[in-house]
Structure 1
Amino acid sequence: MKTGAFKKIGEVVELLGTTPRTLRFYEAEGLISSRRTAGGTRYYSDADIARFSAILRLANAGIPLHLVKTIATTREHYATGAESSHAIHTLLTTLHEQVNAQMALLTQLTADLSFAATTLESCFHCGNAPTRSGCPECLVNQRLDASELLNLIWEQELN
């Protein structure tokens, strides 16, 4: 299909790697509008697809839908570009800070995942029971202070 042409929902789904249900949901939530034929077939422009792509990227990053909707609809509530730009800038700055905090948490989680996986490799050929009492010299048991995930994996110590 040539650039600038409208695309049916199936084509959009294929381009974005999502489902028709997801796109219809975003439309029902007021995040996007479609053009429709008399028979109800939805058609989307390249601009609509770019908007869908941004929505999906934010949603896939775990940004709450209410915040995505706020970002998508804030400009229309202001009389001037200056007012709306300041409001959107504040939203984007807050979102940026939240994403940076989430990235820091994910970096820590990535390190803990690697540490836990490497530690567990020492148990690949272990014949002992995978418990504190069954394998008291286990490397997992010795490294519990260094990994939250190892504490989750290892059985809970009951006193």
Structure 2
Amino acid sequence: MNTLKKIGEVAELLNTTPRTLRFYEEEGLVNARRTPKGTRLYNAEDIARFRAILQLAQAGIPLAFIKTLAITREQASTGAQASREVSCVLTTLQATLRGQIDMMRQLDGELTQVMRTIQSCSQCTHPPTRQGCPQCPINQALNTSDILNLIWEQAVD
């Protein structure tokens, strides 16, 4: 039996908001069934589709790309064409994700180094400013990390 769920139930199940689900429906990514009074109802396939959309969106994949992925197969005229075109979209998606993973690994390494640098100040009694602690290890490390530049106050010229 394919139980239908209301939008609020689906939102709770997916840890999102009804507004988010309505937005994805407005964008043509999911089609809801409606009761005579207009209540949206979703089946298990709709929920799986929402889950995939949310997962990709949370990974930083642009909505336009998610739409392309969602409609590529249905626009093909043959299985062979669908296979080629969907494979191309998936290859692009995978390359995008791998680039993000590489960027995240670099950021993770930088954050580890920043935490070590910040930890060197854990016993310092000087004010945490460029002028208050001119010998601060952070002052010496600012040229090695953009994150440190974000944390440390801006230089006033």
Calculate the TM-score normalised by the size of structure 2.
0.92
Q: Which runs of 5+ in 1 are unaligned?
A: none
> What is the alpha-carbon distance in structure 1 between the residues aligned to residue 55 and residue 151 of structure 2?
32
In the TM superposition, residue 65 of structure 1 has moved relative to its aligned partner by 0.3
Deviations 1:8-55 (A, max 9, x none): 111111110000000000001000001111011111110110000000
Look up the SS of the partner of 2:41 in the other structure.
strand
> What is the alpha-carbon distance in structure 1 between the residues aligned to residue 33 and residue 63 of structure 2?
23
* Equivalence map 1:105-120=2 (5 Å): 105-120=103-118
In the TM superposition, residue 109 of structure 1 has moved relative to its aligned partner by 0.9
> What is the alpha-carbon distance in structure 2 between the residues aligned to residue 133 and residue 5 of structure 1?
66
In the TM superposition, residue 100 of structure 1 has moved relative to its aligned partner by 0.4
Deviations 1:67-123 (A, max 9, x none): 000100111211101101111111110110011011111111112122212321232
Q: Which runs of 5+ in 2 are unaligned?
A: none
- Which residue is equivalent to 1:57? 55
Kindly tell me the number of residue pairs found equivalent between the two proteins. Answer: 157
Q: Residue 71 of structure 2 aligns to which amino acid in structure 1? A: T
In the TM superposition, residue 158 of structure 1 has moved relative to its aligned partner by 5.3
Calculate the TM-score normalised by the size of structure 1.
0.90
Q: Residue 63 of structure 1 aligns to which amino acid in structure 2? A: I
* Equivalence map 1:65-76=2 (5 Å): 65-76=63-74
> What is the alpha-carbon distance in structure 1 between the residues aligned to residue 127 and residue 24 of structure 2?
50
The reply to whether residue 151 of structure 1 matches residue 149 of structure 2 is: yes
- Which residue is equivalent to 2:129? 131
In the TM superposition, residue 145 of structure 1 has moved relative to its aligned partner by 3.5
Look up the SS of the partner of 1:143 in the other structure.
helix
> What is the alpha-carbon distance in structure 2 between the residues aligned to residue 113 and residue 10 of structure 1?
38
Larger mean Cα displacement after TM superposition, 58-67 or 104-113: 104-113
Q: Residue 146 of structure 1 aligns to which amino acid in structure 2? A: T
Q: Residue 47 of structure 2 aligns to which amino acid in structure 1? A: I
> What is the alpha-carbon distance in structure 2 between the residues aligned to residue 17 and residue 132 of structure 1?
44
> What is the alpha-carbon distance in structure 2 between the residues aligned to residue 133 and residue 10 of structure 1?
54
> What is the alpha-carbon distance in structure 2 between the residues aligned to residue 87 and residue 64 of structure 1?
19
